[in-house]
Homo-oligomer: A and B are copies of this chain.
Amino acid sequence: MEQMHVIQSLAALAQPIRLDAFRALVVAGQAGLTPGRMAGTLGVPANTLSFHLKELAHAGLVTQERVSRNIVYRANFEQVNALLGYLTENCCAGAPCAVNPCAVNPPDTACAC
């Protein structure tokens, strides 16, 4: 995952409406949610929500699938995991440290915690 893409993902999540929407999708899991539903529960105008969902989709954090009249949005968990891993890559130059001992990082990164 390269720098630019990470920035884009972080920026996508760094906005109240988008963070709420994303977290709702995380909770919804495989079932996903439609914009209509989200607009209702989050109390956001449809066009504004659409704008923000596009940001999330563009960052690859959510996927869209049309189902008849509706469009179902789902959180993209792989993308989130990749993002989390990036932040602690090579932490402490390999020395034992305070980062989550259960290793967000894949084994090939230098972090030994």
Contact = CB atoms under 8 A, between A and B. Distances in A.
Nearest to A4: B16
Nearest to A76: B98
A45 interface: no
Copies per complex of this chain: 2
Interface residues of A, number: 38
A85 to B, nearest CB: 9
Given A6-B19, A77-B88, A84-B87, 20 more contacts: A3-B20, A7-B14, A7-B16, A10-B10, A10-B11, A10-B14, A11-B11, A11-B14, A14-B14, A23-B87, A26-B89, A26-B92, A27-B91, A29-B93, A29-B95, A30-B92, A30-B97, A84-B100, A100-B104, A102-B102
